[in-house]
Amino acid sequence: MRDAGITGKPGKVLVEKIGVETVGDLLRYYPRKYSERGQLTDLSALVVGEKATVWAKVVKVHDRSLQPGSGRGGRRGGLKLVTTVTIGDGRKQLTCAFFNQFHIAKVLRPGTEAMFSGTVKDFRGELQLSSPQWAVVSTPDTLDSIADPAEAKTAIEVVEQFAGGIIPIYALVEGLTQSVIQNSVRVVLDLLGPIQDPVPDELLATRGLVGLGAALRHIHRPGSRAELDHARARLKYDEALAIQLVLARRREEARSFPAEPCPRIDDGLLAAFDSALPFELTQGQHEVGEQIATDLATIHPMNRLLQGEVGSGKTVVALRAMLQVIDSGRQAVMLAPTEVLAAQHARSLRSVLGPLGAGGELGSDSRATRITLLTGSMATGARRSALLDIASGQAGITVGTHALLSDGVFFAELGLVVIDEQHRFGVEQRDALRSKGPEGSPPHVLVMTATPIPRTVAMTVYGDLETSTLSELPRGRSPISTTVVPAAERPAWLERAWLRIREEVAAGHQAYVVCPKIGDDEPGRSRARSADDEELGEPDDWDSEPEETTARRPPLSVDQVATLLESGPLQGLRLARLHGRLPPAEKDEVMQSFAAGDIDVLVSTTVIEVGVDVPNATMMVVMDAERFGLSQLHQLRGRVGRGSAPGVCLLVTEAPEASPSRVRLDAVAQISDGFALADRDLELRQEGNVLGTSQAGRTSSLKLLSLRTDREVVEDARDDAQALVAGDPGFSKFPRLLAMAQDVIDEQGQAYLDKA
Ligand code: ADP
Ligand code: MG
C-alpha cells in the first residue's frame, strides 16, 4: 500500500506542497479538523460580534482596485485591492471582505463551496465577515452539470458526499486546495482494496480497536462521530505502538549482548561498606539496590534508569552498585555533567568510603579500592597519572566529566557505567562510555536523573531503559517552602528577602543567590541555561522555554547582583561568586569553602543546579526566575533543605501577575512533588515541544497521539510492544509491523528517538 505512487497533476501538487508521495502518505495525511453540516450555514442566525464558521456557496465576487495616492488608499497605506465575496446558503446572503488578496477572485469563483470563519461585523447595516479564514469544500468544476436553479440542492449533495455530514478539513499550504486533497483521498479510498492489518487480530480485540482499513477510511470520511472516534483511537494507538516497538527492539537488542556477571559476595568491599554505613537505607534505596544487584549478577548487561527526587539519595545506590562490580574484579566509572559536581562526587565518595577508598595507600584495608578523578582541566601530570590508574585497573572507581569520553581513556576492565544527571547527556555519551568496555561484552549501565519526567515522556524518551524510582526522601529531611516574589509589584518583599538571608546567616546557616547570567560582557542569551560551564551537556529537551521574548531588560548577572548585595543589603556578610568561567581550581576552592561554612552567601549561576550537596544551606533566592525552566527551578531549590533545618526558596520575578511566566512560577511554588510538577509542566507547554523540535513549521512526528493526555494509550502500547518483541524478536510472524512503525513515525521522529 505504501509503495504505490500518486500520479497525475494532483500528484505533483501533493508531492511538491506537502511531501505526500505515496498512497500510504496520503492516507496518513489526516484531516486537521472536521466541520459538521448541522452546525454550519444558517446565515440568518449570525450575531454581530461573534465568531462564526459558515459553510456556504460563493454567489458573486467583486474586485475593487484603489488608485495609489487617492485619499482612501493614501490613508490606508498599501491598500490596493478590496475583494468583496458574496456568499449564500440558498436563503440568506452575507459579504466577506478581503484586502490585497489578489488570488481570492481566482479561487473563490461563483459556485465554489467553502467554509468561512471570522468575526461577524456590521458594515453599513449589513452583516460582513472581514478577512475571514476560508477553506474550499468543492469547486464548481466538480458540479459542472448541475443547473442553476438546483443550487441549494447541489450544495446539500456536495456535503452528502461525506456520508455523516462530517466534512474533513485538511491543513493547506499555498497552492493546494481542500478539493485537491479531498478528491485525491476519495479516489484513493474508492480504488483501495482491503488493507492488510499489520497489528495482530487478537491484539485489536483485546484493545477494542477497529481494523486499519476501517480506521483510515473513517478518519477521512467518517459516517458518524462514533466512526471518527474509533478511527482516531486506532490510529493513535498505531503511533504509540510504533514508538514502543522501536524502543522495545532496542531494549531487546541491548539485552542480547553477553555481559560478565558480577554477583554479590559475602566478604567483599560492598559488605564492608554496608556494615559501616552511618545511616539506614530508605526502603526505596534498599529495594532499588536489590533490583540492581540482581541485574548485575545476570549474563546480560543492565540498562537501568534510576529516577529519584532531588535529595533522595541516588549516589549511595550507585556507589553500592559500583562496589559490587569491583568485588568481581572490575572497574566502575561515573560520569558527571560539571567539574564542580565531578569533584564533589570524588570528594564525597572518598569520604564515605574512608579507608575502603584509600586503596594503594600505605596501611590501607586489603579490600580497599582507589577513586580517581579525571576532568578536562587537569594539569598534564595529574591527567597522565589518572589515565595510568584507569588503564592499569588500579582505579576501581573513576569519576569524571566529558573528558572521560575522549579517545585516550582506556579502562583495564570496565564493568559498570554510572551516568549522573542524565538529562545533561544524550544517548551518544552513554554509548561512548559503553564502548570502553571489554570487546564484545558491554558494561552494565545505570543512568540517574533527578529531573522528574512525566511517565509518558519517560516511557518514550527513556523507553529503552528499565526504570526504577526512589520516591521517598531519607528521614529527617525538611520541607522546602517556595514563594514567588513579584519584585515589580512588591519591592518591599525583595527587601524582606535580603533581611531573611541575614537572619539565616545569623542563625548559622548559608544561602544561595542564583542569577541567569555571569557578567555584563556576555552577549544576551535567551535561555537561562547559559553555556555556563564548558562541560554542560545539551539542555534537556523537554525543559520549558521561557515564553515571553519581547524586549526586556537584560538578565541579571552574578557580577551585577554580587556587587549590589556586597555594598547594600548584605554588607558585612561573607559573599563569594561562582560560575563556569572561573578557573576550575578556583571553582573548586569556592565550593569547598562554601561546603566548609567559610562563605555565607554564594552568588552563582546554575553551576550549582545539579547535585551540589551542602546541608547547611537553607535559603535560596533565584533572580529573574522566569528565565529558568520549571524542572531547572525544581533542581535548584533541591539545593536547600538538605539538612534538618527547613529550606526556603524565593523566586524573584518582574513578570506581571497572571502572565504565562507567572503561572509557571506559581506552579513551582505550589507543587513540591517533582513528578506532579513535571506533569503540570507538560500541561502548560505546547505539545510540539514534547517530542522533537518545537521549531515553528516543523511538525511533531506524532499526529494524533498526545503525550499529555494519552497516557493510557502509551502504557498499553508499551506493554503490547514488549510482548510482541519478546515473543517474536525478528517480527517473523508480523513482518508488516515494522513497516508500519516506519509509516507512522517519520524519519525525523525516529532520528529523535535514536538520539533521545
Ligand atoms: P541525590 O539523589 O539528589 O543525588 P544524594 O545522593 O546527593 O541525593 O543524597 C543527598 C544526601 O542524603 C547526601 O548527603 C547523602 O549522604 C544523604 N543520604 C542518602 N541516603 C540517606 C539515608 N538513607 N539516610 C540519611 N541520609 C542519606
Ligand atoms: Mg545526585
Q: Ligand 1, residue 638: give the atom nearest the CA.
A: 3
From ligand 2's centre to the CA of 114, what distance in Å? 59
Top-confidence range, 83-97, 279-293, 668-682: 279-293
Interval 154-169: pLDDT, tens: 444 444 455 456 778 7
Between residues 546 and 241, the one the model is more confident about: 241
d(CA 77, CA 448): 60
d(CA 10, CA 183): 9
In one-letter notation, the amino acid at residue 464 is: D
d(CA 284, CA 525): 40
Q: Ligand 1, residue 315: give the atom nearest the CA.
A: 6
> In sequence order, what are the residues at sequence separation of 6 or more whose Cβ sits closer than 8 angstroms to the Cβ of residue 190?
none
How many residues are given for the chain?
A: 756
Report the greatest alpha carbon distance in the chain: 107
Q: Is any atom of ligand 1 closer than 6 Å to the C-beta of 469?
A: no
Q: What is the dihedral of CA 139, 145, 146, 148, to 10 degrees?
A: 90
Q: Is any atom of ligand 1 closer than 6 Å to the C-beta of 653?
A: no
pLDDT at 752: 45
Q: Are the folds of 269-296+313-449 and 480-671 the same?
A: yes
Interval 162-206: pLDDT, tens: 545 677 877 766 666 666 777 788 888 888 888 888 899 999 999
With 80 as the cut, is the pLDDT of residue 90 above it?
no
Q: Report yes or no: 394 and 359 within 8 Å, Cβ to Cβ.
A: yes
Between residues 72 and 101, the one the model is more confident about: 101
* 596 CB burial (10 A radius; 0-12, 13-18, 19+): exposed
Interval 435-477: pLDDT, tens: 888 887 889 999 998 766 666 777 776 777 888 888 787 776 7
From ligand 2's centre to the CA of 732, what distance in Å? 44
**Taking the domains of the chain in order of start, what are their residue ranges?**
1-32+177-193, 37-169, 213-256+708-755, 269-296+313-449, 480-671
Measure the CA angle with vertex 553, ends 549 and 555; round to 5°. Answer: 85
Count of Cβ atoms closer than 10 Å to residue 564 Cβ: 14
How would you classify residue 354: left for phi > 0, otherwise alpha for psi between -120 and 50, otherwise beta?
Answer: left
Reduce the DSSP state of residue 217 to 3 states and report it. helix
> In sequence order, what are the residues at sequence separation of 6 or more whose Cβ sits closer than 8 angstroms to the Cβ of residue 6?
14, 15, 20, 21, 22, 23, 26, 184, 188
Determine which residue's CA is closest to atom 3 belonging to ligand 1. Answer: 311
CATH of domain 480-671: 3.40.50.300
Task: Looking at the structure, give the CATH architecture of the domain made up of residues 37-169.
Answer: Beta Barrel (2.40)
Mean predicted confidence (pLDDT) in 9-21: 71
Query: For ligand 2, a single-atom ion, which residues have Cβ within 5 Å?
Result: 611
Determine which residue's CA is closest to atom 14 belonging to ligand 1. Answer: 613
> In sequence order, what are the residues at sequence separation of 6 or more whose Cβ sits closer than 8 angstroms to the Cβ of residue 38?
165
pTM of model > 0.75: no
In one-letter notation, the amino acid at residue 399 is: V
Interval 526-582: pLDDT, tens: 333 333 333 232 233 333 334 344 446 788 999 999 999 999 999 999 999 999 888
Q: Is any atom of ligand 1 closer than 6 Å to the C-beta of 473?
A: no
pLDDT at 510: 96
Selecting from 3.40.50.2300, 3.40.630.40, 3.40.50.300, 3.90.1150.10, what CATH number does the domain 269-296+313-449 have? 3.40.50.300
Q: Is any atom of ligand 1 closer than 6 Å to the C-beta of 449?
A: no
Residue 21 CA neighbour count, 13 Å, CB half = 4
In one-letter notation, the amino acid at residue 47 is: V
Q: What is the CA radius of gyration of the chain?
A: 32
Q: Ligand 1, residue 348: give the atom nearest the CA.
A: 16
Phi and psi (nearest 5°) for 373?
A: -105, 135
